[in-house]
Amino acid sequence: MATRKYEQRLRADAAEQTRKRILEAVYEQLRRAPSEPVSVEQVARMAEVARSTVYLIFGSRAGLFDALSTDLWWHRAGFQQVVDAVAHPDAREHLREGIAAGVRVFAAHRDVFRALFSMAQLDSDAVGGAIAKIEEDRAGGMAHLARRLAEQEVLRPDVTVGEAADVLWLLASFDSFDQLYTARKLAVDDVARTLITTAERTLCR
């Protein structure tokens, strides 16, 4: 019985290593050539597995991108920083730390995020769903922050919770980050400072 459990653990470990190797191959393909379509065949070659193995593990091309987005957002990019910001008891600090953490997340893997967000517009069946999930979670987070700002009487009296959620959604987006970081060539801290200042001046008392 002990031998069987050991063998099962070895197989599980091997399967997990294969899964990580495939995700790393997708990540590297996006990082090295963000403007080129991601080929499952190329991913399989880079990961040193059969093409059928990719589909066996992830089910479909869409499943592969779903897994990559989850891995990128929650593990590689340090999204825990954003989660920690949400837990702050002060809503204004939640706003500041949340935007700053989001900027650091985007900056850590800018080229891959840029590729994914762009591909979502061109390949909605495969990539669009993965990005839609990220954006849905982000929308919920902005609505939660807007409600907290209102509950703690931080919002300006002429700003509704819905309006605040819309402004926060805009300022905390990848595109807002990238316009400052890439187009304007601001440093990460300066991007965060600009977005935080804009949010506070627009929304807060």
Instruction: Write the pLDDT tens digit of every residue in 20-64.
Output: 999 999 999 998 888 788 889 999 999 999 999 999 999 998 899
Residue 72: pLDDT over 90: no
Which pTM does this prediction carry?
0.86
Tens digits of residue pLDDT in 75-115? 776 677 888 888 899 999 999 999 999 999 999 999 999 99
DSSP annotation of 172 reads T
| Rounded Cα–Cα distance for residues 91 and 168 (Å) | 13
Cβ atoms of residues 155 and 149 within 8 Å: yes
| Rounded Cα–Cα distance for residues 197 and 161 (Å) | 19
The residue among 60, 31, 29 whose CA lies nearest residue 46 is 29
